[in-house]
Homo-oligomer: A and B are copies of this chain.
Amino acid sequence: MMKKYNLAIVGATGLVGREFIKIIESRNFPADSIQLLASDRNPGRKILTGRGEMLVHETTPASFENIDIAVFIAGAEIAKYFVPLAMQSGAMVLDTSSAFRTGDSVPLVVPEVNPQDVENHKGIIANPNCSTIQLSVVLHPLNRVNRIMRVVVSTYQSVSGAGSTGTDELTRQTKTVIEGKTPIPHVFPHQIAFNVVPEVDVFMDNGYTREEFRLTDETRRVLHDAELSISATCVRVPVYVGHCQAVHIELTKPMAPDEARQILASAPGIKILDDPGVSLYPQPWSVAGSDEVLVGRVRQDIDRPTGLVLWTAADNLRKGTALNAIQILEESIKRGCL
């Protein structure tokens, strides 16, 4: 009989947390018990799940007793405090925040790309940033047959990347603008309704944002290619769910768009939506709820035979975070390292 696990989900009430619970159920993840944890702001809160209404408990140092797997879907600050406690209690930790991603001792895994890395975990595995997952799933199959030398990527990231406070802000600001008034920004540094904001996470001294740096650094680590050159511009757009990326790639050898489409179509986690004649290409509103990274507008660079240009979209709450996290756990079980 398959082993079953006692799960704790820290950050269960957030957008990604609720998506995680849904996916756990739909994929029949072997959970024996599920403990929903959140901050102490919502004591006594209940969430409706496939197992009925479930009480959300406050996260405390004692929350991880008898827990096999602790999934952190909260911010980096919460992870920094509670992850060591969960590990001390003997739980294996999967963290979706950026708190433990940079250490070389913590595997950073996209199951379609580097599943074998789960075997190296020392009690914790990190889920990469949503933009990294979306990019690396697409780069990996191409890179295997025709090494990628350089990537320039510009993102169009939805407000749900900032959680439900982000989606609430977009709704509130949109209504304010439609009424002819000027909205006041709270969650994002500037008005996001009817605007685009080229600032996702904080700026570093080199002029890139942390989000842009992560897209460079994490993608290299997931692809095991420290030499890969990536430059990114990350931009928040007034979209609820679904991140898009304009990806300009330089390969070692020329590759025809048809070949690229075939390689991508047979790669895991990718769905091709590419028929410009009928305006078929990935878009945020068509990607919400999708498990795959959608890829379209595959074309040879107009000026470089070794260049390839793509347009992709992914559900940042699912493949971007919750689904990838569950896939990591499934891969760990399959490989007997959980």
Name the residue on B nearest A257 (C-beta).
Answer: B207
Q: How far in angstroms is the closest Cβ of chain B from A156?
A: 5
Q: How far in angstroms is the closest Cβ of chain B from A284?
A: 5
Q: Does A152 contact B (CB under 8 A)?
A: yes
Cα distance A285–B297 when bound, in Å?
29
Contact B235 A238 (CB under 8 A): no
Q: Does A244 contact B (CB under 8 A)?
A: yes
Q: Please report which residues of chain A, range 236-273, place their CB below 8 angstroms from some CB of chain B when the two chains form the complex.
A: 237-240, 244, 246, 248, 257
Contact B190 A285 (CB under 8 A): yes
Contact with B along A86-129 (1 / 0, CB 8 A): 00000000000000000000000000000000000000000000
Q: Does A191 contact B (CB under 8 A)?
A: yes
Q: Does A174 contact B (CB under 8 A)?
A: yes
Residues in chain B near residue A299, CB distance under 8 A: 206-208
Q: Does A66 contact B (CB under 8 A)?
A: no
User: Most chain-B Cβ atoms within 10 A of its Cβ — which of A154, A156, A206, A213?
Assistant: A154
Q: Does A143 contact B (CB under 8 A)?
A: no
Contact B191 A297 (CB under 8 A): no
Q: Does A277 contact B (CB under 8 A)?
A: yes
Contact B194 A309 (CB under 8 A): no
Residues in chain B near residue A237, CB distance under 8 A: 156, 196, 237-238
With A174-B178, A194-B240, A283-B196: A302-B156 Cβ-Cβ less than 8 Å: no
Some 28 contacts from A to B, beta carbons below 8 A apart, are A152-B152, A156-B156, A170-B194, A171-B178, A190-B283, A190-B285, A194-B240, A194-B285, A195-B239, A196-B239, A196-B244, A196-B284, A198-B244, A198-B282, A199-B276, A206-B300, A207-B276, A207-B297, A216-B302, A229-B304, A230-B302, A231-B301, A231-B302, A233-B248, A233-B311, A235-B244, A235-B246, A237-B238
For the complex with contacts A190-B285, A195-B284, A198-B297, 13 further pairs of A-B residues with Cβ separation under 8 Å are A190-B279, A194-B240, A195-B283, A196-B237, A198-B283, A198-B311, A206-B300, A207-B257, A207-B276, A207-B297, A212-B302, A233-B248, A235-B244
